[in-house]
Amino acid sequence: MNQHRHRTDTESLVAYRALLLITAVSILATSCGSNLSDSDDASRSWQGTTIREGPTLTVRTTGGSLWGGSGRLVEETAIGTETRGEYDLLGQVVGMEATADRVYVLDRLAAAIRVYDTAGNHVLSIGRPGQGPGELQAPTALGIDPSRGHLVVRESVAGKLHRFKLSGEYLWSTRPSLQGGIFGAGKLLRVTSDGVTIVPNFAYRRAPDTELGYVSTTILYTLDSTGARVDSLPLPEYEHEQFVLTAMAGRESYRPEPVPFGPQEVWAMGWDGSLVTGYSADYRFEIRYPDGRVTVIERETDPVEVLPGEKTWATDRAYGILRSIDPAWRWNGPGIPATKPWYDDIIPDRSGRLWVLREGEGRKVEGWTEPDGWREWERNPGWVPDRWFEVFEEATGRYLGRVNAPEGFVAAPEPVIEGDRFVCLTEDAIGRPIVRRYRLVLPA
């Protein structure tokens, strides 16, 4: 479950609001509704409405899909299964990239980028452990600059950016001037189609007006091709109840834990510099473009129920984790909802689509026994759900169709999706990381 808290950066917020105002004034404010399924021959299997109000386009899917059915992922390559040699074993995968003939895997434990061909054979390694030129220290994210054909590596602790050629040649390193610290893993890097690098900066600040010692903040920074900071953009704020549990470990530190199946703020960075944001209490999210345009995407469909046994297990899990921090801990947040959030993640791909990750009803794991210790509670679920993607066309906001998520799919690091190529991290039954390359097959 994703949990993101944030505060605004005053200077960047003023500039961003000014940009929105200028754009809005320059666009003739109109409001119209239409049913595209009645007027567009290419959309007859899709039903929905569109409303445009100034720079905002709202698209709501009420039924059907443009694909007219579900897509499926056909596995082509698996990396990490001990079938080819020493370089096939993966440690901690924190970043992935892919081209037509290569898969690039950033392994934090190896402090290197492992490069494989389409058959999964190891081709070369880029970088090595250390703090010198071309060396990596605790890397956390990987990206490709398509405008220059460079690999971009981020280190969170040292705050460095490194650049390599796709052939492996080291180019340069820099340490951008960012406020606060950088923590965590996941959505840590985006290089847009025109070569602009976007890095989220996760930091902690004191919160004297709350019972918590610190709260996390997130600001997106844009960097030019030299790694110099150009601008900053805060994530939007939502007015809602915080579905978070906390256990205090001393007076100024705490362990947050999301309320099981509670709605959360979700965000993603588009490949064109846009920002995708939503709050998963509703099936609704927004695409905010740099020029001030906004596309709102909504969908009507059935919610997913939290089953009684699944709720009991999730409650026990929360107690098992947080009582390891505070043995006297008691439930101190909202209750577990009756239905699951409408989505867990949103992934923009490089072909103008948005992949919305959803979770179905859970099923009990046969032979499961209660874990001993909080780490095992995190790693050893007693209930597991089916998961799938609901895919939307970004340009029109219309629903394309469903694609089942691979078995053992891991959402972080973000998968690489372009055309019919789908590369992602999975875990097998014993938690071993395996990078898999799939081919997306659409319905006839």
**pLDDT at 180 (0 to 100):** 53
**pLDDT at 13 (0 to 100):** 32
**pLDDT at 209 (0 to 100):** 53
Asked if the model's pLDDT at residue 31 lies above 50, the reply is no
Asked if the model's pLDDT at residue 288 lies above 60, the reply is yes
**pLDDT at 70 (0 to 100):** 96
Average pLDDT over residues 229-245: 83
Asked if the model's pLDDT at residue 25 lies above 70, the reply is no
**Three-state helix/strand/coil letters over the chain:** CCCCCCCCCHHHHHHHHHHHHHHHHHCCCCEEEECHHHHCHHHCCEEEEEEEECCEEEEEEEEECCCCCCEEEEEEEEECCCCCCHHHCCCCEEEEEECCCCEEEEECCCCEEEEECCCCCEEEEECEECCCCCEECCEEEEEEECCCCEEEEEECCCCCEEEEECCCCEEEEECCCCCCCCCCCCCCCEECCCCCEEEEEEEEEECCCCCCCEEEEEEEEEECCCCCEEEEEECCCCCCCCCEEEEECCCCCEEEEECCCCCCEEEEECCCCCEEEEECCCCEEEEECCCCCEEEEEECCCCCECCHHHHHHHHHHHHHHHCCCCCCCCCCCCCCCCECCCCCEEEECCCCEEEEEEEEEEEECCCCCCCCCHHHHHHCCCEEEEEEEEEEECCCCCEEEEEECCCCEECCCCCEEECCEEEEEEECCCCCEEEEEEEEECCC
- Average pLDDT of the chain, as a whole number: 85
**pLDDT at 253 (0 to 100):** 67
Average pLDDT over residues 352-369: 96
Identify the CATH number of the domain defined by range 10-441: 2.120.10.30
Token duo for residue 82:
């001990």
pLDDT in tens, 242-282: 899 988 877 666 788 999 999 999 999 999 889 999 999 99
Phi, psi of 279 (to 5 degrees): -125, 120
175, 188 contact by CB (below 8 A): no
**pLDDT at 347 (0 to 100):** 97
**pLDDT at 205 (0 to 100):** 55
pTM of the model: 0.86
Question: 22 falls in which pLDDT band (50, 70, 90)?
Answer: very low
Asked if the model's pLDDT at residue 14 lies above 60, the reply is no
Question: Among 174-188, 250-264, 329-343, whose mean pLDDT is lowest?
Answer: 174-188
Average pLDDT over residues 7-24: 34
Most confident stretch, 7-11, 187-191, 386-390 = 386-390
pLDDT in tens, 72-124: 999 999 999 877 777 888 999 999 999 999 999 999 999 999 999 999 999 99
Question: 33 falls in which pLDDT band (50, 70, 90)?
Answer: very low
Most confident stretch, 3-12, 294-303, 318-327, 428-437 = 294-303
Average pLDDT over residues 8-15: 34
Asked if the model's pLDDT at residue 157 lies above 80, the reply is no
**pLDDT at 220 (0 to 100):** 85
Average pLDDT over residues 365-378: 88
**pLDDT at 297 (0 to 100):** 98
**pLDDT at 226 (0 to 100):** 85
Asked if the model's pLDDT at residue 437 lies above 60, the reply is yes
pLDDT in tens, 373-421: 888 888 889 999 999 999 999 999 999 999 999 999 999 999 999 999 9
Asked if the model's pLDDT at residue 218 lies above 70, the reply is yes
Question: 232 falls in which pLDDT band (50, 70, 90)?
Answer: confident
Average pLDDT over residues 204-213: 53
**pLDDT at 147 (0 to 100):** 87
Q: Say which residue, 38 or 394, is predicted with more confidence.
A: 394
Asked if the model's pLDDT at residue 170 lies above 70, the reply is yes
